[in-house]
Amino acid sequence: MKELVLNFPTQLHEALIIGQNYRFISPVKDFSNVVLTGLGGSGIGGSIVQNYVFDKVSIPFIVNKDYSLPKFVNSRSLVIVSSYSGNTEETISAMQQAIKARATIVCITSGGKIAEIAKKKKLDCILLPAGMPPRSCIGYSMTQVLFTFSHFGLIQDDLSKTIKASIKLLKADEKDIQSKARAIARKLYGKLPVIYSSSAFEGVAARVQQQLNENSKMLCWHNVIPEMNHNELVGWRDKDASKAVVFLKDAEDAERVRIRFQIIKQIIKKYTPNIIEINSKGKSYWEKVFYFIHLTDWVSVMLAELRKQDATEVRVIDFLKKELSKIA
């Protein structure tokens, strides 16, 4: 897993080439909505893109993480099917519903049943390099989601320029990123992490939680500001040094949100001394996203080492899938 994290900038370069070289079958058309269906490491990229296009796309875009699609999906819907393995049963079920609804479908996968169905039905299918844990391939999958949005005219970004700038930033800061990650991992060791971000980076906060769950083999949770100010903030009532709060902060967070961060920090430090602030780096939203991802991915694998855990194994998930496969 450490090697996969180290090679993240290379993955972004390869993802850019894949996106630039892919030729879509589906023509550009007027959509009434967009749905990305995918789970875990294959779906979290959709959540991050959802944050990005919040104020840029004039039609609804939702991320679906279940067996069923919303009732509104029809022939005027764009459905992006994201499953790295191509065998995620929930995503296959949703894909079949999208086919019945006559939606325009774009698959992002490394193969499996989804690639087989796409070939049979003559659907768009962007193939990714196979053989890696899905959570380590967010650069591949999320980049293709962006290229899909670009192809259909939903965003007008210069993806080549943006991703190249992100790669340059990560390579230039690699030593500093690892150094910061090591210090953060030491602070989180033996603690229960609580991740807070603005709504603009909620997908990133969820990604951090998932990486700590899967790579570090530990529980944690995340929430967003301002929503947590209306409920979870009241839960901070007992002194508990076993918890560690991680703030994901961006200089361009809304002014009122930045103020809320300051006040929340004052409140929480009464109950735990363990408060870590991670500031974004980069000029564009995507430079900041990829910086957050790369830094916190390093945190997760370094924590795995401290906890003497194998960052790659996910036996309990394999067991669940095996048990489910016994039931028709």
Rounded Cα distance, 267 and 269, in Å: 6
The SS3 of residue 266 is helix
Cα 178 to Cα 26: distance, rounded to the nearest angstrom: 42
Catalytic residues: 214, 230, 321
CA distance 188 to 172: 26
234-240: long-range pairs with CB below 8 Å, 24+ = 236/267, 236/268, 236/270, 236/271, 237/271, 238/271, 239/270, 239/271, 239/272, 240/271, 240/272
Structure tokens at 137: 């391939």
Q: Is the distance from CB of 47 to CB of 202 less than 8 angstroms?
A: yes
Whether 54 contacts 162, CB under 8 Å: no
66's tokens: 């279940």
The tokens 């030491």 sit on which residue? 186
Using H for helix, E for strand and C for coil, what is the string for 64-116?
ECCCCCCCCCCCCEEEEEEECCCCCHHHHHHHHHHHHCCCEEEEEECCHHHHH
Distance CA 298, CA 293 (A): 9
Q: How far is it, in rounded angstroms, from Cα 211 to Cα 208?
A: 5
Other CB atoms within a 10 A radius of the CB of residue 206 amount to: 20
